[in-house]
Amino acid sequence: QVRLVESGGGLVQSGNSLRLSCEVSQFTMNYYGIGWFRQAPGKEREGISCITRGGGTTYYAESVKGRFTISRDSARNTVYLQMNNLQPEDTAIYYCAGRRTILTAPISCDSSDYNAWGQGTQVTVSS
């Protein structure tokens, strides 16, 4: 019942944009906060943007603030990550993850709080 499937990764040049999609089950959309995380080779997994279950609160890591936008479309059961002005340091595998919460739970972008993960999608930015 909990399903998260990422898509939209690829190879782009520096300064360009990509939009990642995380398609989730209806159950996941109704009861889970969603986060986007990334992991580059040799680095720890980083929480870059998260959105609460109700969609009212978002979080952005400093490294992506002003360039990335997270949104959730309940009609399509999809959470998006719009990534603009991509840079080589954004190269990583990007994962979406789910965190079951009550409706009023505060936002968290700590990966240890998330217990449902997609398979990941590769984003590569060339200079």
Per-residue confidence (pLDDT) for residue 54, from 0 to 100: 87
Q: What is the mean pLDDT of the chain?
A: 96
Burial class for 127, CB neighbours closer than 10 Å (0-12, 13-18, 19+)? exposed
Q: pLDDT tens for residues 71-109?
A: 999 999 999 999 999 999 999 999 999 999 999 999 999
pLDDT of res. 76:
96
Query: First and final CA of the chain: distance in angstroms?
Result: 40
pLDDT, residue 77, reads 96
3-state SS, residue 125: strand
Is the per-residue pLDDT at 1 higher than 90? no
Task: Note the pLDDT tens digit of each residue in 5-64.
Answer: 999 999 999 999 999 999 999 999 999 999 999 999 999 999 999 999 988 899 999 999
Query: What was the pLDDT predicted at 55?
Result: 87
What is the model's pLDDT at position 90? Answer: 98
